[in-house]
Chains A and B, each alone.
Chain A
Amino acid sequence: DVKVTQSSRYLVKRTGEKVFLECVQDMDHENMFWYRQDPGLGLRLIYFSYDVKMKEKGDIPEGYSVSREKKERFSLILESASTNQTSMYLCASSSMGLGETQYFGPGTRLLVL
């Protein structure tokens, strides 16, 4: 059974703080993804990684960076949090190849004050 976990379910941060969101998967998946989910906007891809130390920008990378030092772990970093980054953040993973199912984590609801 695939398991994708995220470090926090809820997080409250101040504007300007550096924020780390962590995602861990236990299925040896090559691909990992970070999305943000906002009402009416669906799931928007921030960054993804298809191998350790490899990353590729998604649709909305501005204000975010990522790190993948180990295959099972993918971190999303908000260098200087802003109120417009208040959102639900979802991590996902999948194995290599076209058409592989993405398995999502439970999400982190981030509030930036």
Chain B
Amino acid sequence: GENVEQHPSTLSVQEGDSAVIKCTYSDSASNYFPWYKQELGKRPQLIIDIRSNVGEKKDQRIAVTLNKTAKHFSLHITETQPEDSAVYFCAAPKGTGRRALTFGSGTRLQVQP
């Protein structure tokens, strides 16, 4: 089955700096890669996703890049703000019809004001 590894486990940046979180996956047939954000005490929520027919997708200050050959994808947050502080999870599809997701172990991002 699909295996997703995520690095780093913790990341501390100064407000205004950029943050990058990286994930690798094992199943070369995987074709959809979402990122979820979980603020303290709240439920995870989708922030951005990418499909395997594109190499990069942007949404304001966040972007995701995909390298299918190397089987890795990354989340990039520019001009970080304190409200970006949260745990971020990457994921890849699995199971019958690829309806389920395998999540990475999470990255705790702390943005220092």
Contact = CB atoms under 8 A, between A and B. Distances in A.
A42 B100 contact: no
Nearest to B3: A59
Interface string B42-69: 0111100101000000000000000000
Nearest to A33: B100
Contacts of B81: none
B101 interface: yes
B28 to A, nearest CB: 16
A44 B96 CA distance: 17
B105 A45 contact: no
A105 B9 CA distance: 24
Contact of B44 (A41, A50, A90, A98): A90
Q: How large is the interface on B (under 10, 10 to 19, 20 to 34, 35 or more residues)?
A: 20 to 34
Contacts of B51: 99
Contacts of A50: 96-97, 99
Q: How large is the interface on A (under 10, 10 to 19, 20 to 34, 35 or more residues)?
A: 20 to 34
A45 B106 CA distance: 14
Interface in A22-36: 31, 33, 35
A94 interface: yes
B46 A101 contact: yes
A107 B42 CA distance: 9
Contacts of A106: 43
User: Which 7 pairs of residues, A with B, have the shortest CB-CB distance?
Assistant: A42-B105, A104-B43, A43-B103, A99-B32, A42-B106, A101-B46, A42-B103
